[in-house]
Structures are given as structure tokens and as C-alpha cells.
Amino acid sequence: MRIDPRRLRFLLAIAREGGVLAAADELGVTPSAVSQQLARLEAETGCALVTRTAHGILLTEAGQALVETAEEIERALNLVRAKLLEDEVDPVGTVRVGIFQTFLRVVFAPSLPEWKQRHPRLRFEVREDDQEELLRMLRSGDLDLVVLELDSQQASPRLPKNMTETPLLDEPWRLVVPAGATQVDVVDLARQSLPWLGPDASAAGSQATHRVRRALGISGPTVHRYQDIQTALALVAAGEGVALVPSLALIGQSHPGVSPLEMPGLGTRRIVLRRYEGRNVPEAQDVAVTLIREAAAAVSLEESVS
């Protein structure tokens, strides 16, 4: 079996965007080009990689295996790119970063000791807040960089002049259920055998939860309303319902009473970095972006809830 690795990016885009048309928009090609590359990849592997349903495209088992491989290749390339682009000159200054909790806990904060060792004159100042406030502070100049979360199905907004967006990480959404409900299947969820918890409307999880519930044919209100993902996990452990959470939330901590439920079609959470670029941007900011990209590329998403 000989697989052209260049075709993997088309399958990866289909998996992330949920269909051929959206994948074509993301890649900047025609839908027919995406379909042709998918067909050739299926011919090369000898396997069906996707199935088409009334609610969109779902990956087969073989397709999921190839997507996971493509994500590993992407992370490796991002890591190499970050190392190659890192400025050899020792940067000086403070970089003010707006960030959200899970990326801060799993990726950013654990990297700080190494960054200090590599660049002793570079300092980071962290601000954790809701995304709208962080973006306001970026526009006003009170922050230099902002790390944001988006559901992969969200349309990309039109950015202000000179503001750029750098992809950092695409991580799978995971459905978590009370530990005693691990045998619940998709049919049970569609019948609302367990209530769904409701993320704050401004969070990426709200977009994802609405999308997944709609695909499953689930209507009606959610229960509770939370901002912090740790709150959602605590409510799930207490048997209050099920919740859609990002993979990063399940890394590095024990969550007794909570189990992830394996099911297709949940999509991914996209983590991006936004900043303003121009002639007068301090070198320290460029180095900081390289460090953050490198740390994101090195993250392993294979850990699960114990």
C-alpha cells in the first residue's frame, strides 16, 4: 500500500470541517478537488474512509486512523517549523498574553520554566478573562497576544487590519458522562436519557454542544449553566448530566466519577493565536509566538480520564 501523504490534508480538513464543501472553503480549493483527492486516497488505501449521512460526513474506522496519523504529522511539522523559525538573538521585554484556562494549565504554564531558561530576559504577563474582553484588550493595545478557542464549525470572522490568526492546535471534543452511564449509546442520547449541561453562550463549547445536539435530533433546554469546564466535570461526576468538553480538559488531572463516551461526529476545538503584526512589533513578541506554537505542537492528546 502506497499512500501519498499530501492527500491526508484533504481528509483532515473534511474531518475538521464536517463536509466536502466546508473543507474546500478551508483549503481554498474547489469541492471537486477535495472529492477527487478523497477518492484517490480511498483507492490508495483500499478502504472507505467516510460515510455520508443526512447530517453530514462521518469517518469510518479506517478514516479515523488516517486522520489521527495526519494530526501526528501536522504536529511534528509544526514543532520543526517552530524550532527553525526561533530567533537566535536573545529577546528582551515583557509579552502580555490573554489566555483561557485549559490551554494555560496544560500547555502554557508548564512551558514557562523552559522558556525562562532559554530566554532569561523574556517575561510573560498573563491575563485570563472571557474572550470578548481579551479581544477588546488586544484591540486597545493592553495585550500583545491572545489565545482563543473556537468550535471548528464556526465561520472564521473577518479580522481587523493587521490582525493575524495563527492556528495552534485542533483537539477532539469529548462527551463525558457519569461513570455509571458508560454503556449509554448514541440512541440513548438522542432520546434524552441523560440531560445535557449548558456551557456559557460565549464559549466554543456552546457552539459545539448546539451543533452535536442538533445532529442527534435533540431539542429542549440544557440544564445548569457553567463557565469553567471544571464545573461541568464536577456536575457530570455528581450525575447531573452529560457535557461536551475539549480533550485538554481531561489531561493531567484525575476526575473520579467521570468517563468519556466514544462516539463519532463530535468535531474538534480549534485553538488559535491572534495578534497585530507590523514594522514596529517588538522582537520579543515574535519569539513568544514561536515558543507558544512549539509548545502547542508538542502536546499529546492521548491521555484520558482515569
In tens, the pLDDT along 46-72 reads 989 998 877 678 889 898 888 888 888
- Residue 3: predicted pLDDT: 84
pLDDT digits (tens, 9 = 90+) for 261-280: 767 788 899 999 999 987 67
**Is pLDDT larger for residue 301 or for residue 22?**
22
- Residue 93: predicted pLDDT: 92
- 122 and 198: one domain? yes
- Residue 184: predicted pLDDT: 54
CATH of the domain at 241: 3.40.190.290
- 121 and 252: one domain? yes
Which set of grid coordinates corresponds to residue 276? 497585530
Which of 47-61, 70-84, 185-199 has the highest mean predicted lDDT (pLDDT)? 47-61
- Look at residues 61, 82, 103 and tell me which one is the last residue of a structural domain: 82
What domain count does the chain have?
A: 2
- 28 and 141: one domain? no
Tell me which residue of 210, 216, 236, 212 sits closest to 224, measured CA to CA.
236
- Residue 87: predicted pLDDT: 46
**pLDDT surpasses 70 at 82:** no
**Residue numbers of the domain that contains 45:** 5-82
**pLDDT surpasses 90 at 147:** yes
pTM tops 0.75: no
Give the rounded percent of residues in the chain with a pLDDT score beyond 90.
48
User: For all residues of the chain together, what is the average pLDDT?
Assistant: 86
Tell me which residue of 227, 235, 230, 229 sits closest to 196, measured CA to CA.
235
The stretch 178-198 carries a mean pLDDT of 67
- 102 and 159: one domain? yes
- Look at residues 27, 52, 82 and tell me which one is the last residue of a structural domain: 82
- 215 and 290: one domain? yes
**pLDDT surpasses 70 at 189:** no
The stretch 223-232 carries a mean pLDDT of 92
- 57 and 188: one domain? no
Neighbouring-strand partners of residue 41:
none
Neighbours of 3 (CB within 10 A): 13
- 104 and 160: one domain? yes
Residue 259: Cβ-neighbour burial (10 angstroms; 0-12, 13-18, 19+) = buried
- 98 and 66: one domain? no
pLDDT digits (tens, 9 = 90+) for 285-294: 999 999 999 9
- Look at residues 82, 111, 141 and tell me which one is the last residue of a structural domain: 82
- 47 and 101: one domain? no
